[in-house]
Structure 1
Amino acid sequence: LAPAACLNFNCMLILLPVCRNLLSFLRGSIQCCSRTAARQLDRNITFHKLVAYMIAFHTAVHIIAHLFNFERFMDAQLEANTSSLTHVLSVIGNKENESFLNPIRSNGTTIVMFTTVAGLTGVVITLALILIITSSMEVIRRSYFEVFWFTHHLFIVFFIGLVLHGIGRIVRGQTFANLKLHKPLTCHSRYEEWGRITECPEPEFAGNPPMTWKWVVGPMVLYLCERIVRFYRSQQKVVITKVVMHPSKTLELQMKKKGFKMEVGQYIFMQCPSISQLEWHPFTLTSAPEEGHFSVHIRIVGDWTQALYSACGGDKTEGQEAWELPRMAVDGPFGTASEDVFRYEVVMLVGAGIGVTPFASILKSVWYKHVQQNTNVFTKKIYFYWLCPETEAFEWFADLLQSLERQMTEKNMSDFLSYNIYLTRWKDTEAAHFRVHHEAENDPITGLKQKTLYGKPNWDSEFNTIATSHPGCKVGVFLCGPPLLAKALEKQCLTQSQAGAEFIFNKENF
């Protein structure tokens, strides 16, 4: 029963971290009071995974325990010593209209497994759980997102089976009424006299009522409301106002939607019904709240993104007419850690590859705030780091950086934004080109005055420099990048916070 109770508790929790609209509402409600609590909500996917691991563990314990129970129940039925307590308890129920304790009334465990409600639903929900967990592995989720997405919807089968699992009442116990007459502590040693003495009448048994539904009905209702909200949003009209094909197969979509309001660093889920009626994919917003549209940059890496690229005319030499563009559905926006960026006096933004997208929104918003001469900007200094493996990826972001660089220079605020762009991989021909143009005023890759750096940052040196420059300040460190980089930066935040400035680590999770 203990693993079953743990399963009930964890199955109650598993749906809550993926109720995106609920989390977005909670985040907006509490961030004014507690920034720490809001940051914990940003770790919803991590919490979801931890709960899933606990479900997998307790499922294994639950199955193993029942297999041992089945063997013990069968052995009790077949026991040669007919005067033992276990045998006496097992044969109760053989008479007509007599309650029973031992649910195994045959010698075949296979028959029990596939003919009882508990056995059949147990097999179904275990298979569903195995498929969900195996398809959630990082390599499958990154390379075959559709497999991950579709198999994850087996959670419907899992929860239906979970609710039905206990209705067969295979776990049995003595009735409450009979416990008053037949006290186990007194009668367990006098089982040969059961029914013949008044203080120990024949024990009566009944199946324990199902309890799981009481644990999961609340989260299931919340998640159903979540899906209704998503469906309602998916029916709202989205207009694609502009399509831009960037190098390195990156697609930019600029869109408009009635009533759409966003903050910096937020993300949306997008669906293209002409590609798939079921698939929703997350994308970070790259536009600023001050702009009249919202935009995303999509790297073409899978079947769905390739199909969207083709539907938007990426494979055509001539432009696509507006009426030919696919219909899009948008759910969101949803909050992330990056929403808090302007709450820090000093900020470090670290993006890896396409992970730079949330910071495009932030840097654009910075540009608009200074154009509009907004004096309410609390942030006084931004350190921007971009680690990129290929030169083509710089193109779409370089224009924004050039505009910011020019704007900051005109307003005598060159020190406000310090950016460091790292090229982590390059070809021999590119290296020769870099050497030839190294003395040029502007960088040969980005066109910026700040030269592109080669290799990877020395994070010890970077954090030391910032800690020395801003003693006593709270420095917000925001990352959108791979787990290894996240571990390195989080470690730096912990160690370097002892040197003067306090570094607070924030990571994008969706």
Structure 2
Amino acid sequence: MGNFAANEGLSIFVILVWLGINVFLFVHFYLAFLVERYYYTRVILGHALSWARAPAACLNFNCMLILLPVCRNLLSFLRGSIQYCSRTAARQLDRNLTFHKLVAYMIALHTAIHIIAHLFNFERFMDSQLMINSSYLPYVLSQIGNNDNRSYLNPIRTNETNPTIVMFTTIAGLTGVVITLALILIITSSMEVIRRSYFEVFWFTHHLFIVFFIGLVLHGVGRIVRGQTIESVKVHKPDECHSRFEDWGKNGTDCPEPVFAGNPPMTWKWVVGPMILYVCERLVRFYRSQQKVVITKVVMHPSKTLELQMKKKGFKMEVGQYVFIKCPSISQLEWHPFTLTSAPEEDHLSVHIRIVGDWTQALYTACGGDKTVVQDAWTLPKVAVDGPFGTASEDVFRYEVVMLVGAGIGVTPFASVLKSVWYKHVQENKNVFTKKVINSTKFSCSGFE
């Protein structure tokens, strides 16, 4: 139990805090739309108003978080900073993609609630406009602002329309449709069966997040959710005036006609920070992709495994780190992650690539894997390298005993570790803290004492 708390305690704490913030935001904003200012909005919409706005607040929060776990350079920087304080905290950064998926599921959940609630809202707005009856309060409220659209409550201004037309002719409706379709494509293409078998489909559809965030920021610009202005509430108290709506605005009445206004868009305040960080992240990646990389050696191993040895000026790494590789002759956009199998002590960087998909097969062919003659260096494809990025293996030499467990191509992180051990102990005769490495892939133990 103690080991579980030490290893998983921080992760559970982070998840509970995240869930707690979601619950707090949902409840807080649900209650926030039950106040006096939205009394007349609820006359038309009922509690569907709160059911639409509460998940919207949670969407803002989760959309603020969704980009942070995929900022690889930011995570590497945080890992280096946190590692000096707590290795346990630094290891939590390895679960960035798990947290990214959890946030995505939460976004999908709140999006579904938000959409369903607004479908009810559109129908009730339409019903209020169609109920042509001056003794019917929702209809009277729907007519306010016909001569001055700045103070209207019902965004559907005529009974000669339908909710579908309104959905595609308003900023909120059109952007809502666009970001919902983008989200559906992003989530469905992220299923493991598609990601593994059709990585290109996953990669391209995942970049619809750009469309998603643009639509998200613009979604509230139309100010379709409206309430009574604070100034109007002071002179027109809904709980006192709602039953005397026939006399609103007449001479001698103390209930002037209520004035309504839309809420200013707030989403951009939540997401502008992460969006700027992500843009900076992409700029760093672009700069790295432009640095020259030279393939110095290509080795074809059994079981269709390709080893690339490369050199890049100023490249520094730690054991177990990984890089992203792009081959422009195959694709100008696709980057694929590979664990470094070279050691920090070597003068080159190397990766071992198992040929299992279209992109790896194309790289195998480009490097002459299907040829029996030796390839000239100038015929090898150009590649770009982004990284390195950190993993839990970085602090391997801070432990006295290390167990390496892996199988198949999954043993590549340990190649870097074992090479580095050999260089430190045999070549340089350094006194490393690590005294024993247990390699379960070969069922052997190596001692260094």
Aligned to 1:10: 62
Aligned to 1:32: 84
8 A Cα contact 2:355 2:364, kept in partner: yes
Q: Establish whether residue 181 from structure 1 lines up as the match of residue 235 from structure 2.
A: yes
Separation of aligned partners in 1, 2:100 and 2:429:
39
Give the TM-score normalised by structure 2: 0.84
Aligned to 2:95: 43
8 A Cα contact 1:267 1:284, kept in partner: yes
8 A Cα contact 1:238 1:327, kept in partner: yes
Instruction: Report the alpha carbon displacement of residue 193 of structure 1 after superposing the two structures with TM.
Output: 2.7
Q: Establish whether residue 304 from structure 1 lines up as the match of residue 359 from structure 2.
A: yes
- Give the alignment partner of residue 290 of structure 1, picking from 330, 345, 370: 345
Q: Residue type of the partner of 1:161?
A: G
Aligned to 1:68: 120
Per-residue CA deviations over 1:439-493 (Å, capped at 9, x if unaligned) read xxxxxxxxxxxxxxxxxxxxxxxxxxxxxxxxxxxxxxxxxxxxxxxxxxxxxxx
Instruction: Report the alpha carbon displacement of residue 95 of structure 1 after superposing the two structures with TM.
Output: 3.6
Q: Establish whether residue 224 from structure 1 lines up as the match of residue 224 from structure 2.
A: no
Give the TM-score normalised by structure 1: 0.74
Secondary structure, in 3 states, of the residue corresponding to 1:206?
strand
- Give the alignment partner of residue 211 of structure 1, picking from 266, 283, 296: 266
- Pairwise CA RMSD: 1.8
Separation of aligned partners in 2, 1:44 and 1:374:
37
Which structure 1 residue ranges, 5 or more long, are not aligned?
388-400, 406-412, 418-510
Secondary structure, in 3 states, of the residue corresponding to 1:43?
helix
Secondary structure, in 3 states, of the residue corresponding to 2:296?
strand
- Give the alignment partner of residue 317 of structure 1, picking from 346, 369, 372: 372
Aligned to 1:99: 151
Secondary structure, in 3 states, of the residue corresponding to 2:396?
helix
8 A Cα contact 1:353 1:386, kept in partner: no
Separation of aligned partners in 2, 1:150 and 1:6:
27
Per-residue CA deviations over 1:25-61 (Å, capped at 9, x if unaligned) read 1110110101121011111101110111011111111
Per-residue CA deviations over 1:299-324 (Å, capped at 9, x if unaligned) read 01111111111111101110110001
Aligned to 2:317: 262
Greater shift in the superposed pair: 37-46 or 369-378: 369-378
Separation of aligned partners in 2, 1:303 and 1:266:
25
Q: Establish whether residue 138 from structure 1 lines up as the match of residue 189 from structure 2.
A: no
Separation of aligned partners in 1, 2:245 and 2:89:
58
The sequence identity of aligned pairs, in percent, is: 84
Instruction: Report the alpha carbon displacement of residue 130 of structure 1 after superposing the two structures with TM.
Output: 0.7
Q: Residue type of the partner of 2:145?
A: G
Cα distance, 1:189–1:352 mapped onto 2, change above 3 Å? farther
Structure 1 stretches of 4+ moved >6 Å: none
- Give the alignment partner of residue 242 of structure 1, picking from 292, 297, 317: 297
Q: Establish whether residue 58 from structure 1 lines up as the match of residue 113 from structure 2.
A: no
Secondary structure, in 3 states, of the residue corresponding to 1:333?
strand
Separation of aligned partners in 1, 2:73 and 2:423:
28
Instruction: Report the alpha carbon displacement of residue 345 of structure 1 after superposing the two structures with TM.
Output: 1.8
8 A Cα contact 2:291 2:384, kept in partner: yes
8 A Cα contact 1:237 1:258, kept in partner: yes
Following superposition of structure 1 onto structure 2, how do residues 293-372 of structure 1 map, counting pairs within 5 Å?
293-372=348-427
Aligned to 1:23: 75
8 A Cα contact 1:92 1:98, kept in partner: no
Q: Residue type of the partner of 2:212?
A: F
Instruction: Report the alpha carbon displacement of residue 372 of structure 1 after superposing the two structures with TM.
Output: 3.6
8 A Cα contact 1:272 1:327, kept in partner: yes
Separation of aligned partners in 1, 2:384 and 2:153:
55
Instruction: Report the alpha carbon displacement of residue 294 of structure 1 after superposing the two structures with TM.
Output: 0.6
Per-residue CA deviations over 1:79-132 (Å, capped at 9, x if unaligned) read 365323322212212345572101122441110111111111111111111111
Separation of aligned partners in 2, 1:305 and 1:160:
33
8 A Cα contact 2:150 2:261, kept in partner: no
Secondary structure, in 3 states, of the residue corresponding to 1:224?
helix
Greater shift in the superposed pair: 167-176 or 328-337: 167-176
Aligned length: 394
Greater shift in the superposed pair: 342-351 or 154-163: 342-351
Instruction: Report the alpha carbon displacement of residue 198 of structure 1 after superposing the two structures with TM.
Output: 4.9
Q: Residue type of the partner of 1:2?
A: A
Greater shift in the superposed pair: 30-39 or 184-193: 184-193
Secondary structure, in 3 states, of the residue corresponding to 1:37?
helix
Q: Residue type of the partner of 1:188?
A: H
Aligned to 2:223: 169
8 A Cα contact 2:425 2:431, kept in partner: no
Secondary structure, in 3 states, of the residue corresponding to 1:190?
helix
Instruction: Report the alpha carbon displacement of residue 183 of structure 1 after superposing the two structures with TM.
Output: 2.3
Separation of aligned partners in 1, 2:341 and 2:207:
29
Separation of aligned partners in 2, 1:229 and 1:373:
35
Separation of aligned partners in 2, 1:249 and 1:241:
20
Instruction: Report the alpha carbon displacement of residue 76 of structure 1 after superposing the two structures with TM.
Output: 1.6
8 A Cα contact 2:437 2:446, kept in partner: no
Q: Residue type of the partner of 1:312?
A: C
Q: Residue type of the partner of 1:368?
A: Y
- Give the alignment partner of residue 193 of structure 1, picking from 247, 252, 270: 247
Secondary structure, in 3 states, of the residue corresponding to 1:2?
helix
Cα distance, 1:374–1:34 mapped onto 2, change above 3 Å? farther
8 A Cα contact 2:58 2:110, kept in partner: yes
Q: Residue type of the partner of 1:207?
A: G
Instruction: Report the alpha carbon displacement of residue 375 of structure 1 after superposing the two structures with TM.
Output: 4.2
Separation of aligned partners in 2, 1:79 and 1:341:
72
Secondary structure, in 3 states, of the residue corresponding to 2:294?
strand
Q: Residue type of the partner of 1:279?
A: E
Separation of aligned partners in 2, 1:254 and 1:76:
70
Instruction: Report the alpha carbon displacement of residue 291 of structure 1 after superposing the two structures with TM.
Output: 0.7
Secondary structure, in 3 states, of the residue corresponding to 2:405?
strand
Greater shift in the superposed pair: 174-183 or 127-136: 174-183
Cα distance, 1:360–1:98 mapped onto 2, change above 3 Å? closer
Instruction: Report the alpha carbon displacement of residue 374 of structure 1 after superposing the two structures with TM.
Output: 4.4
Separation of aligned partners in 1, 2:328 and 2:254:
71
Separation of aligned partners in 1, 2:275 and 2:209:
11
Which structure 2 residue ranges, 5 or more long, are not aligned?
1-52
Greater shift in the superposed pair: 2-11 or 104-113: 104-113
